[in-house]
């Protein structure tokens, strides 16, 4: 049986890094894996998504509306933007962090209230986490993406893969210790 993951957030959150780590771990576990990435704007703050499909045989990474088994949203508004891509029976993993888009920063719009509650009204299975706080707890605010990786791995039941080895492969040695702690923090949230 194939699974499909949609990861969504804004530029600078490390979504592509997490997708590469996930894809490599899944391939080494013997899955056929296809991944694609879309940059709304190739700079910090623009929307970024990646699509990953894995299973026995996968022909395309493209996830159509209502077909994602898991939506991993690194920011709340991005969860709202892409929620229609999630299956009704799917799982939403959402970071509670708020990253204000330019219109909000310019005072032209307000960041909406009640986003998590609205998401819970749209899907049955929502995992909400303050990944930034979890990353700060281990001493590295920039590791919130690795916290999200840990939550995703746990939600998918893929803890048997050596994810810590993959993290070490993709991240600089001086960051290994705190990123491993961030990953474990994500695993422990469920």
- Specify the residue for token string 């229609």: 84
d(CA 77, CA 65): 18
Q: What is the number of domains present in the chain?
A: 1
Q: What stretches of 30-175 show up as alpha helix (H) in DSSP?
A: 76-82, 102-105, 115-122, 131-137, 144-156, 163-170
Using one digit for the tens of pLDDT, what is the confidence trace for 105-162? 888 989 899 999 999 999 999 999 999 999 999 999 999 999 999 999 999 999 999 9
Least Cα distance to 37 among 49, 25, 26 occurs for 49
Using one digit for the tens of pLDDT, what is the confidence trace for 65-79? 999 999 999 999 999
Domain with residue 47: its CATH number is 3.40.920.10
Structural domain includes residue 172: no
Question: Contact at 8 Å (CB) between 2 and 53?
Answer: yes
User: Which residues span the domain enclosing 112?
Assistant: 3-130+152-161
- Look up the pTM and report it: 0.94
């Amino acid at each position: 049986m194939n699974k499909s993951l949609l990861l969504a957030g804004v530029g600078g959150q490390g979504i592509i890094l997490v997708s590469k780590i996930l894809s490599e771990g899944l391939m080494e576990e013997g899955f056929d894996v296809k991944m694609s990435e879309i940059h709304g704007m190739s700079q910090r703050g623009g929307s970024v998504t990646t699509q990953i499909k894995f299973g026995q045989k996968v022909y395309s990474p493209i996830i159509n509306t209502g077909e994602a088994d898991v939506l991993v949203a690194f920011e709340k508004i991005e969860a709202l933007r892409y929620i229609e891509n999630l299956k009704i029976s799917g799982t939403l993993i959402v970071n509670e962090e708020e990253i204000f888009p330019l219109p909000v920063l310019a005072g032209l719009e307000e960041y909406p209230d009640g986003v998590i509650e609205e998401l819970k009204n749209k899907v049955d299975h929502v995992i909400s986490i303050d990944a930034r706080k979890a990353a700060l707890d281990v001493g590295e605010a920039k590791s919130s993406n690795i916290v999200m990786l840990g939550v995703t791995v746990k939600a998918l039941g893929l803890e048997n893969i050596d994810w810590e080895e993959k993290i070490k492969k993709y991240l600089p040695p001086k960051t290994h210790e705190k990123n491993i702690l961030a990953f474990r923090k994500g695993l422990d949230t469920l």
